[in-house]
Structure formats: structure tokens, C-alpha cells
A and B are shown apart, each in its own frame.
Chain A
Amino acid sequence: MEGRLANAWRLTVNDKNFIKTALLSEIRIDGRKPFEYRKISIKFGREDGSSEVQLGQTRVISIVTAQLVQPYRDRPKEGMLSIFTEFSPMADPSFEPGRPGELAVELGRIIDRGLRESRAVDTESLCILAGKFVWAVRIDIHILDNGGNLVDAANIAALASLLTFRRPECSLGGEDGQEVIVHPPEIREPLPLMVHHLPIAITFGFFNNESILLIDPTHNEEAVMNGRMTTTVNANGDICAIQKGGGEGVPQRVIMQCLQLATSKAASITKQIKDAVEAFNTERALRKIKRHPTSTGVDVREKQNQ
């Protein structure tokens, strides 16, 4: 469907000036300081590998699934990792259904680079039979509510769901050992993925005035800012990826300042993700203990003697 006038959301000139003037005194419209992150809440669904992250008003869910496929010819011993991002029309009136727009593609690419090229997920452990069967892990990211800074929220959701995902255990069998038997989860406990480190994406916003720099923009601030940079760093201090596509030019010392800031933020976010995953794993283990069904549904009595 063509974009309609009603879908375009524009910030008024008064709003823009207000945001910029407030930033000169280091005040943001939601009361945060320039280098403060919004509250992050990480929740998990009942199944393994599904997570929901809320970063302020931004809401993202991520689902991880895996399938046995044939590997690529030039990489017969490696599994596959693919990321699909859906900017659901639920999140923003300007998101259209159908083919992903450039923002969705960029978001997918940033998360993909952070995970794949930094070798955060071990793809060699996904190989079952070299050249014949490997696991292809698929991450589906659905954006539910656009409150700004979708990249960071989607990244945290993808990491949380990867850490809680479990793939079925399989063993080689058959006469010549070439057949793969996939064990159902009731028989053999499924295995987690091997994740070496957690690359966290941190987004910065730049403005015309060099002294204004902020972290984690809301969607109002995104409409006002003149440039953005997303750095993907991990808690060890390694830089996994930097994405700065055009926009306002920034001096080198500001980039260095951003990188240092990103590393300290990454440490606290990594801890938060790990704590949430720990809590989920404990709860999952408790659930494995068979309990008497306690759920009482709504009882519907049938009509008496019609």
C-alpha cells in the first residue's frame, strides 16, 4: 500500500527547538542525563529461545528456531545463523507491511555483523555431519513498539533469546553412521548454543552543536538529531562493529569518548542479560520437576434440561 499522508508523523518546529535548547543545558525531555540509558526489562516466554525486551517505551520480541539443513559447499563444517527483522506495522504508523524497508535491513545487518563476524555464536559446534547436516539457527525479531533506539533493544532481545535457546540433541546412527537421529526433548535434554561473548550495541546521537552528545535516543530525539553512530562492543573491551552511516561529521576525540562510554555501558548491560538468563534457567529447572496440575480454568456448566 502506498504511504498515505496520515502515516507521516512530523515533529513540530516548537518541539524540535525545545529538545535542542534543553540539551544545551544537558537536560533531556524524559528527565535523563545525556549518558544515561533507559530502564531495560528482559522477560522470557514459556518456550526456550523466546524473549521480550522493553527499553523505556520501545518493545521488541525475538524468537530463535533451528532446522537441520545441508551446509554451504564452501563451508561444509559450519552451521548457519540468519537474522530476520520485521518492522511490524504495530510499532509505528509509518511502518508498512511487506518488504522490509532500509531501516529494517540496516538493523538486521548491524546485529548480524555483531554476532557473526565477532564469532560470538560458535557455528562449528552446530555441525552434525560434515557436508551433509548442520543446524541452521534462525532469529526472528519483531518490533512491537517504536519508542526510539530499536537497534539496541533488538540486539539485547536477540542475545537473550540465543542464550535461552535449546536445540535437540542428535546422534549419528544407521548402518554406516551416516544417518542423523534427532532425539525429542522428552527423551534427551536439549543442548544450549555455544556463545563465547555478548556483543552489545550502543547507539549515540550527534547534533549540529559539537558539545551535544547523547546515548539511547527516544524517537522524538531521533527526529531531531543530525547523525547517529552504533558501536557494538563486548564486556571484554573488544570492538565488534561500528556503524556510522553519513550524517553529521564528528571529530576523532568524540569518537574515542563514545567508545570508552560504550565499553562501560556494555559491562552493565551484559550483567543484566546474564542475571535475567540465570533466573530463567533456574525457573526452567524447577518446572522440569513434575508437579500436580494446579491450573483451574473457567468452568462452564451446561444448560439444565432444555
Chain B
Amino acid sequence: MEVDREDGRSQNQLRPLACSRNILHRAHGSASWSQGDTKVLAAVYGPKAGTKKNENPEKACIEVIWKPKTGQIGKLEKEYEMILKRTLQSICILTVNPNTTTSVIIQVVNDDGALLPSAINAACMALVDAGIPMRHLAVSICCCVPRSGLVILDPTKLEEQNMKAFAYLVFPNSVHSVLPEGSLSVQGEPIENGVITSVTHGVMSVDDYFFCLERGRAASTKLSDFLRRNLQHQSTDSSKAG
């Protein structure tokens, strides 16, 4: 059963992806990520001395600042900051630089659906650009359940507003490892099958949710490959002189 999408995509197709690293000069790391018309810019400063008041000084602290395109900062922005902070805290190795703060600043350039997933992807690229030690990367995708029909991936803003429910999912990226098979799995399952973050809006049945997870996981392998190719390609031809 094919769902008729406005821009002609099938239900499993993502929008054209584009990303670039090291675009700002003052920031220690920066990246821009765009999925279709949604574009997000991320910058990383860190590690800086000192942690914030309520944070554990024996670990590194991650601070996220979310800047919307226009208007005041409200509850939605604070919620995004919190989700992003917890996601990044779980992928960064916090014990390497204790008592330091790494600031991640997200600037929304254009919002056309799937904003939080784009921001998470951009933040990961920016952390890699800044050289912050991480266990693995995170790739994020938005899956939604329409009123009738099958789960679709990567909605535009118009599609998101007409959905019954949608979920933002974050998975670890797929690992190419020199270690023997099995040492990177958790309880028998490979690490890519885990879910780092899941935020849902609206009501969906349990089956629909598991369906979203499965589709999301399949998409995340494609995203991981894209990220890996992009990072390798840029690191071979960039020279950081001056």
C-alpha cells in the first residue's frame, strides 16, 4: 500500500541530506546539517574550565543552548535543550576531562519538519569536528504514523502536522570495528540495535511503535554510512593551518 506524499517520495525515502564540517572560524567545532529544507547549524566550544553549579565536578558537563529562528526562547526550546543534553551525555565519554564544560550551541536556520533529529545529527558532527571524545556517534530519524496507512519516514512540516503521531528516535551509529565479533554487543545483541532516545508525540499503538523502531533502525544504517563517508572525505582534504 503506497502512501501518496507531496514531494513524490515513497514512505521509506529520506529527503536529500547535506552536511558540512568546520564552517565557523571562532568555534572549536562546527557543522551544518540539512535534510531537504530543514537546516540546522551547530557549534561546539570546549572543554572549558569549570562545571555549572548543580553538576558533578568529577565528570565533564555538557551545556546545550538552542537558538530558535525567530521569537523568544520558550518551553519548547528548553525541552529540546534538555533532550539534546541527555542524548549527548550518553554518547560522550565524560570521565576523560573532569570538571570541564563543553557548550553546544544549536541555531535553527530553517524548520521544515524533523527539526530535533536534524539538530542531534548536526550536534554529533560538530562534536566530532571539535575532537570531543565519544564512544560512538548518534544518528537520529523521525518516523510518523499517519491516520491511515503505513509508517513514513522524515516528514516535512506539512506532513508532520497532519499525522496521528510521530516519534523522534536516536540510535547509535553502526560500528566498523577491528575487535573480534561479539565484544561490542550488549547481551547478545549488536550495539546498533539499541535506542538512545525516543520522544513521541500523539497516540500510537504498540505495534506501530515497534514498526517505527524497525524502520528507524534500517534508516539509521543509511544515515551512519552517509555520516562516515562525509567525515572521512572531509578529513582527508582539510588542513587546519591558520
Contact = CB atoms under 8 A, between A and B. Distances in A.
A12 interface: no
Contacts of A61: 107, 109
Interface string A74-112: 000000000000101111110001000000000000000
B26 A303 contact: no
Overall SS of chain A's interface = loop
A222 to B, nearest CB: 13
A145 B107 contact: no
Contact of B52 (A1, A91, A97): A1
B8 A293 contact: yes
A147 B26 CA distance: 8
| Contact residues on A (Cβ < 8 Å of other chain), bracket | 35 or more
Contacts of B50: 4, 6
Contacts of A5: 49
Interface in B2-20: 7-10, 12-17
B35 to A, nearest CB: 9
B13 A142 contact: no
Contacts of A215: none
Nearest to A298: B14
B219 A303 contact: no
Interface string A1-36: 100111100000000000000000000000000000
Given A90-B41, A298-B17, A300-B222, A144 B8 contact: no
Contacts of B58: none
25 contacts: A6-B50, A7-B48, A47-B110, A61-B107, A63-B69, A86-B67, A88-B105, A88-B107, A89-B65, A90-B30, A90-B43, A145-B26, A146-B26, A147-B25, A147-B26, A295-B7, A295-B9, A297-B13, A297-B16, A298-B14, A298-B16, A299-B12, A300-B14, A301-B12, A302-B12
Interface of A: 1, 4-7, 45-47, 50, 57, 59, 61, 63, 65, 86, 88-93, 97, 138, 140, 142, 144-147, 293, 295-303
